[in-house]
Amino acid sequence: MNGTALQNLIHGLPEAFATAPRPTGIDACPCCHAPAEIETLLRTPRERLGPDELMRYATSALNTVGSPGDFRYFTPRILQLVLTGELTVPDLELVGLKLAQAGWYDWPEAPYLRRLLDAFWSDALHNSEEWWDAESVLCTLAAADPDGTGARLAEWARLATPTAVERLHELALSGGLKPSNAFWDIESAPYRTFAEWLHGPELQLAVETAVFRTDDPTQLEQLFTIHDILAP
């Protein structure tokens, strides 16, 4: 799936969530959220809400404000703003955690969201213009959909494009091929799966296979660097 596919799915979020009921009220901690902030969320058409109106809600949702029901309603707009870079707070990883907290997998929109999450991962691996680093995206998706972590790592291990190699090379240089994202739950199964994969035989074999598959000098240099870091 290419970047255009991801953009189409982002663009289609409002239609996919067309039947999500608009909240008539939002419970909020009065010490943390002013009545005017809540009134703006309730009165403004969803697609007209921007970063200024949604930042505090998106950051605090399901903690000091809101319920799974109203989070479902605002999810398409939050995802649109976060995935296009218009909304930089909360962090991408926190949005993944909140999706899980809200129980998105039981929503009628779950199949569409799963396609979006899969496209986001594919874009992170194969689109050289993607600005998210691969570990941030993996951590986000692990929070939202922990059962999919193994399949995502298997896709990365194919090293099917120069961008997939470059993402692994970036990780090797920045973190020494170990999980370094602050949002990882180090007690979780996805974290253990990722940590073991980074130094397991599957990745080592994938790197060695990729070396014999390419003649590109830049890719070869990146692969040899990764191989050296992987070596015992």
Contact 167, 128 (CB under 8 A): no
226: its two tokens: 């990764």
Once rounded to an integer, what is the mean pLDDT over residues 53-60? 94
Average pLDDT, integer, range 100-109: 97
Give the model's confidence band at 231: pLDDT under 50 very low, under 70 low, under 90 confident, else very high: confident
Residue 2 pLDDT > 70: no
The number of beta carbons lying within 10 Å of the beta carbon of residue 176 is 10
Question: Looking at the predicted structure, is the pLDDT value of residue 144 above 50?
Answer: yes
Residue 97's contacts (CB-CB under 8 Å, 6 or more residues apart) are 143, 144, 183
Structural domain spans, the chain: 1-114, 132-232
**What's the pLDDT at 164?**
96
**Residues 31-52: pLDDT tens digits?**
888 899 999 999 999 999 999 9
Model pLDDT, residue 3? 66
Mean pLDDT of 172-189: 90
Residue 219: per-residue pLDDT: 95
62: nearest Cα among 105, 14, 38, 97: 97
> Which residues are bridge partners to 61 per DSSP?
65
Compute the average pLDDT of residues 4-32: 94
Q: What is the pTM of this model?
A: 0.93
- CA 114: distance to chain centroid? 11
* DSSP class per residue in 79-118: HHHHHTTS--SS-HHHHHHHHHHHTGGGSTTHHHHHHHHH
Kindly give, in sequence order, each residue whose CB lies less than 8 Å from that of residue 99, ignoring residues fewer than 6 positions away. 75, 113, 143, 144
Residue 129 or 162, more confident: 162
Contact 123, 1 (CB under 8 A): yes
pLDDT of residue 232: 66
Q: Which amino acid is at 79?
A: L
What would the mean pLDDT of 68-89 be, rounded to a whole number? 95
CA–CA distances in Å: residue 231 to residues 152, 191, 199: 23, 21, 9
Query: Could you tell me the sign of the dihedral formed by the alpha carbons of 153, 90, 100, 82, in that order?
Result: negative
Give me the residue label for tokens 């809200």.
Answer: 102
What's the length of the chain? 232
pLDDT in tens, 185-213: 999 999 999 999 998 999 999 999 999 99
